[in-house]
Protein backbone atom coordinates (compact mmCIF):
# COMPACT_ATOMS: atom_id res chain seq x y z
CA UNK A 1 0.00 0.00 0.00
CA UNK A 2 1.18 3.50 -0.80
CA UNK A 3 1.10 6.34 1.75
CA UNK A 4 1.66 10.03 1.06
CA UNK A 5 2.02 13.07 3.35
CA UNK A 6 0.87 16.49 2.13
CA UNK A 7 0.50 19.77 3.94
CA UNK A 8 -0.02 23.52 3.74
CA UNK A 9 1.87 25.69 6.20
CA UNK A 10 2.17 29.48 6.35
CA UNK A 11 4.43 29.74 9.38
CA UNK A 12 6.08 26.33 9.56
CA UNK A 13 4.02 24.67 12.31
CA UNK A 14 2.13 22.25 10.08
CA UNK A 15 5.35 21.53 8.18
CA UNK A 16 6.97 20.43 11.46
CA UNK A 17 4.07 18.02 12.05
CA UNK A 18 4.19 16.77 8.45
CA UNK A 19 7.93 16.10 8.69
CA UNK A 20 7.44 14.18 11.96
CA UNK A 21 4.64 12.10 10.46
CA UNK A 22 6.61 11.39 7.30
CA UNK A 23 9.69 10.32 9.26
CA UNK A 24 7.58 8.01 11.44
CA UNK A 25 6.00 6.19 8.50
CA UNK A 26 8.88 6.23 6.03
CA UNK A 27 7.45 8.77 3.61
CA UNK A 28 8.37 12.22 2.35
CA UNK A 29 6.34 15.29 3.32
CA UNK A 30 5.39 17.47 0.36
CA UNK A 31 3.32 20.62 0.02
CA UNK A 32 -0.17 20.54 -1.46
CA UNK A 33 1.01 22.47 -4.50
CA UNK A 34 2.61 19.25 -5.78
CA UNK A 35 0.04 16.85 -7.30
CA UNK A 36 -0.05 13.17 -6.43
CA UNK A 37 1.90 11.35 -9.11
CA UNK A 38 0.39 7.95 -8.28
CA UNK A 39 -2.56 6.53 -6.40
CA UNK A 40 -2.07 6.65 -2.62
CA UNK A 41 -4.12 4.36 -0.41
CA UNK A 42 -3.70 6.85 2.46
CA UNK A 43 -2.88 10.56 2.33
CA UNK A 44 -2.00 12.29 5.58
CA UNK A 45 -3.24 15.82 4.86
CA UNK A 46 -2.39 18.75 7.11
CA UNK A 47 -3.34 22.38 7.47
CA UNK A 48 -3.67 24.94 10.21
CA UNK A 49 -6.89 26.86 10.71
CA UNK A 50 -7.10 30.12 8.79
CA UNK A 51 -10.25 32.15 9.29
CA UNK A 52 -12.00 29.12 10.75
CA UNK A 53 -11.13 26.72 7.93
CA UNK A 54 -8.19 25.16 6.09
CA UNK A 55 -6.33 27.15 3.49
CA UNK A 56 -8.17 27.03 0.11
CA UNK A 57 -5.16 25.29 -1.46
CA UNK A 58 -5.92 22.21 0.68
CA UNK A 59 -9.47 21.98 -0.69
CA UNK A 60 -8.12 22.50 -4.23
CA UNK A 61 -5.60 19.69 -3.64
CA UNK A 62 -8.41 17.30 -2.73
CA UNK A 63 -10.45 18.22 -5.81
CA UNK A 64 -7.46 18.02 -8.17
CA UNK A 65 -6.21 14.69 -6.80
CA UNK A 66 -9.42 12.90 -5.76
CA UNK A 67 -8.97 10.03 -8.20
CA UNK A 68 -5.56 9.28 -6.66
CA UNK A 69 -6.65 9.33 -3.00
CA UNK A 70 -7.94 6.25 -1.20
CA UNK A 71 -8.46 7.80 2.24
CA UNK A 72 -7.43 11.02 3.94
CA UNK A 73 -6.07 11.21 7.47
CA UNK A 74 -6.29 14.80 8.74
CA UNK A 75 -3.71 16.50 10.95
CA UNK A 76 -2.99 20.07 11.91
CA UNK A 77 -2.51 22.77 14.49
CA UNK A 78 -4.47 25.83 15.52
CA UNK A 79 -4.19 28.62 18.04
CA UNK A 80 -7.83 28.25 19.02
CA UNK A 81 -7.91 24.46 19.20
CA UNK A 82 -10.44 24.37 16.36
CA UNK A 83 -9.77 21.62 13.82
CA UNK A 84 -9.80 21.60 10.04
CA UNK A 85 -11.24 18.07 10.17
CA UNK A 86 -14.92 18.98 9.51
CA UNK A 87 -14.07 21.19 6.51
CA UNK A 88 -11.60 18.70 5.03
CA UNK A 89 -14.03 15.83 5.58
CA UNK A 90 -16.76 17.81 3.81
CA UNK A 91 -14.48 18.72 0.89
CA UNK A 92 -13.38 15.10 0.58
CA UNK A 93 -16.97 13.80 0.70
CA UNK A 94 -17.83 16.20 -2.12
CA UNK A 95 -15.20 14.42 -4.20
CA UNK A 96 -16.25 10.90 -3.04
CA UNK A 97 -13.03 10.54 -1.01
CA UNK A 98 -13.20 8.94 2.43
CA UNK A 99 -11.61 10.35 5.57
CA UNK A 100 -10.37 8.42 8.57
CA UNK A 101 -12.48 8.77 11.69
CA UNK A 102 -9.55 9.92 13.82
CA UNK A 103 -7.52 13.08 13.28
CA UNK A 104 -4.55 14.74 14.98
CA UNK A 105 -4.80 18.27 16.32
CA UNK A 106 -2.46 20.27 18.54
CA UNK A 107 -1.97 23.89 19.52
CA UNK A 108 -0.35 26.16 16.98
CA UNK A 109 1.42 29.47 17.40
CA UNK A 110 -0.30 32.64 16.29
CA UNK A 111 1.47 35.92 17.04
CA UNK A 112 2.35 35.65 20.74
CA UNK A 113 -0.20 32.93 21.57
CA UNK A 114 1.02 29.35 22.08
CA UNK A 115 4.65 30.34 21.60
CA UNK A 116 6.84 27.63 20.02
CA UNK A 117 3.93 25.32 19.18
CA UNK A 118 3.84 22.77 17.76
CA UNK A 119 6.73 21.74 19.99
CA UNK A 120 8.84 18.57 20.17
CA UNK A 121 6.17 16.75 22.21
CA UNK A 122 3.46 17.70 19.69
CA UNK A 123 5.65 16.32 16.88
CA UNK A 124 6.26 13.10 18.82
CA UNK A 125 2.51 12.77 19.43
CA UNK A 126 1.83 13.34 15.71
CA UNK A 127 4.37 10.63 14.82
CA UNK A 128 2.73 8.19 17.27
CA UNK A 129 -0.70 9.06 15.86
CA UNK A 130 0.51 8.36 12.31
CA UNK A 131 1.99 4.98 13.25
CA UNK A 132 -1.26 4.05 15.00
CA UNK A 133 -3.32 5.09 11.96
CA UNK A 134 -1.11 2.99 9.69
CA UNK A 135 -1.81 -0.04 11.90
CA UNK A 136 -5.56 0.69 12.10
CA UNK A 137 -5.87 1.19 8.35
CA UNK A 138 -3.88 -1.97 7.64
CA UNK A 139 -1.17 -0.25 5.63
CA UNK A 140 1.94 -2.34 5.19
Asked if residue 44 lies in contact with residue 67, where contact means CB atoms within 8 angstroms, the answer is no
Mean pLDDT confidence for 86-96: 94
Work out how many domains the chain is built from and give that number: 1
**What is the domain range of residue 11?**
3-137
Q: What is the CATH number of the domain that holds 46?
A: 3.40.50.360
Helix-then-strand count for the chain, H and E? 4, 6
pLDDT the model gives residue 13: 86
Kindly report which listed range (41-50, 53-62, 77-86) carries the lowest average pLDDT score: 77-86
SS3 content of the chain, % helix, strand, coil (to 5): 40, 25, 35
* Position with higher pLDDT, 139 vs 16: 16
The one-character DSSP state at 22 is H
Kindly report which listed range (1-5, 10-14, 87-91, 128-132) carries the lowest average pLDDT score: 10-14
What is the phi/psi pair of residue 95, to 5°? -110, 10
pLDDT digits (tens, 9 = 90+) for 102-121: 999 877 666 777 677 789 99
Alpha-carbon distance 16 to 7, whole Å?
Answer: 10
Mean pLDDT confidence for 64-68: 97
Q: Is the peptide bond before 33 cis (omega within 30 degrees of 0)?
A: no
Mean pLDDT confidence for 13-24: 96
- What pTM, to 2 d.p., does this model score? 0.91
pLDDT the model gives residue 114: 63
pLDDT the model gives residue 54: 87
Mean pLDDT confidence for 83-96: 92
Asked if residue 117 lies in contact with residue 126, where contact means CB atoms within 8 angstroms, the answer is no
Q: How confident is the model at residue 29 (pLDDT cuts 50, 70, 90)?
A: very high
Asked if residue 76 lies in contact with residue 130, where contact means CB atoms within 8 angstroms, the answer is no
pLDDT the model gives residue 11: 82
Amino acid sequence: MRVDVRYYSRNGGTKKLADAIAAAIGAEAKTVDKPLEKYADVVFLGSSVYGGKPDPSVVKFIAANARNIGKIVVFGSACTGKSTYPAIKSAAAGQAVKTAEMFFQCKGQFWFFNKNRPNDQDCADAADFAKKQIRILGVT
